């Protein structure tokens, strides 16, 4: 059975392998023993905390094949970004240069450094291992978070964001960063990306240009990738857009990948989800649904084909599925179409 669950200390080896496999540009999983162990410990503390408003909590989950014990991927939620460390973005805006006397009117794109997403909740650390990208595994690993957000909404902001990986080559070189490196930094993209991942962000404030950057002054290669995603990230951004996320001009300061956002109440899977009581029984053919329990520390989620009647507050789950979700007959679960 394929199950989403909170990460545990004994998942460290699998998490390290995933960090290595994720490669350049995956800032949230640096290949660093101490930091990976710290992420696990922080997640365990977050699940144990009593919370009435979002703070410095981070919830890290793994996708596990319970038949083999294989950890297939990771997914995470940050309750509120930028409360301890500054959370930087560029905002792509416009300025107008005009002169009536010369009959000149020109609109110019600019990038302005900002901290506009401070306090927002973030979808992050989504990675599914290459040989596990089949059936609905990828959709489950991304979308189950909307059920978790809905069920435990007091722990999160109403504004949900996701930073999408920008364009870089197989060696981790970013055309956007190459221009910044040439003019303002002496640090290559993989190094800058790694320093950010391990929390050393002071160099950003020290070296990043303080004034808006005219996009037309960037190299043609840098201009071309602003707001564009890495080839491997296209399925992820398409999935989020189908859920109601949109890009509102904010891009990453390193690779210029887009950040997308949505209000929790507008996210389709959260909005359309229902709470139903469990009834144990046989399930015939149906539609693919995500199902999660309503427990925090023992949170579990999975997907399966179900028939969900509109005239009932129950949902029938196979005994094996109920066992995997740690629920019994009469318990509440949250369901939504995958």
Q: Which residues are catalytic?
A: 230
Q: Compute CA distances 163 → 96, 306, 318, whole Å.
A: 29, 33, 37
Residue 98 CB-density burial (10 A; 0-12 exposed, 13-18 middle, 19+ buried): exposed
Residue 211 CB-density burial (10 A; 0-12 exposed, 13-18 middle, 19+ buried): exposed
Spatial contact of 111 and 92, defined as CB atoms under 8 Å apart: yes
Beta strands in the chain (DSSP E): 2-6, 58-65, 70-78, 89-99, 104-114, 121-128, 159-163, 213-214, 246-251, 258-263, 274-280, 287-293, 301-306, 314-317, 332-337
Integer Cα distance of 119 and 162 in angstroms: 13
Integer Cα distance of 292 and 273 in angstroms: 10
DSSP state of 310: T
Q: Beta 332-337 vs 287-293: how paired, if at all?
A: antiparallel
Sign of the CA dihedral running 27, 57, 129, 137:
negative
Integer Cα distance of 175 and 77 in angstroms: 29
Enumerate residues 6+ apart whose C-beta is below 8 A from 75: 4, 60, 61, 62, 63, 125, 126, 127, 141, 142, 144, 145
């Amino acid at each position: 059975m394929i199950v989403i669950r909170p990460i545990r200390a004994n998942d460290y080896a699998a998490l390290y392998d995933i960090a290595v496999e994720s490669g350049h540009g995956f800032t949230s999983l640096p290949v660093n023993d101490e930091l990976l162990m710290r992420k696990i410990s922080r997640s365990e503390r977050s699940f144990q905390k009593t919370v009435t408003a979002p703070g410095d909590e981070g919830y890290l989950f793994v996708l596990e094949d319970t038949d083999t014990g294989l950890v297939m991927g990771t997914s995470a939620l940050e309750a509120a970004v930028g409360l301890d460390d500054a959370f930087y973005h560029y905002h792509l805006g416009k300025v107008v240069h005009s002169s009536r006397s010369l009959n000149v009117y020109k609109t110019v794109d600019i990038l302005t450094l900002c901290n506009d997403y401070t306090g927002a909740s973030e979808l992050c650390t989504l990675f599914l291992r290459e040989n596990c990208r089949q059936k609905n595994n990828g959709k489950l690993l991304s979308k189950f978070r909307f059920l978790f957000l809905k069920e435990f909404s007091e722990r999160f902001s109403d504004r949900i964001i996701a930073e999408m990986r920008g364009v870089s080559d197989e060696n981790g070189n970013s055309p956007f960063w190459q221009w910044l490196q040439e003019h303002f930094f002496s640090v290559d993209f993989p190094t800058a990306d790694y320093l950010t991942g391990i929390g050393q962000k002071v160099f950003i404030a020290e070296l990043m240009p303080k004034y808006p950057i005219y996009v037309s002054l960037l190299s043609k290669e840098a201009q071309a990738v602003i707001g564009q995603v890495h080839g491997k990230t296209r399925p992820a951004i398409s999935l989020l857009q189908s859920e109601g996320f949109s890009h509102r001009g904010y891009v990453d300061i390193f690779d210029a990948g887009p950040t997308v956002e949505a209000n929790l109440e507008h996210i389709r899977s959260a909005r359309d989800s229902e709470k139903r009581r469990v009834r144990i029984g046989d399930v015939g053919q149906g539609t693919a649904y995500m199902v999660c329990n309503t427990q925090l520390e023992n949170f579990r989620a999975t997907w399966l084909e179900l028939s969900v009647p509109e005239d009932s507050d129950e949902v029938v789950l196979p005994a094996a599925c109920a066992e995997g979700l740690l629920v019994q007959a009469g318990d509440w679960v949250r369901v939504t179409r995958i």
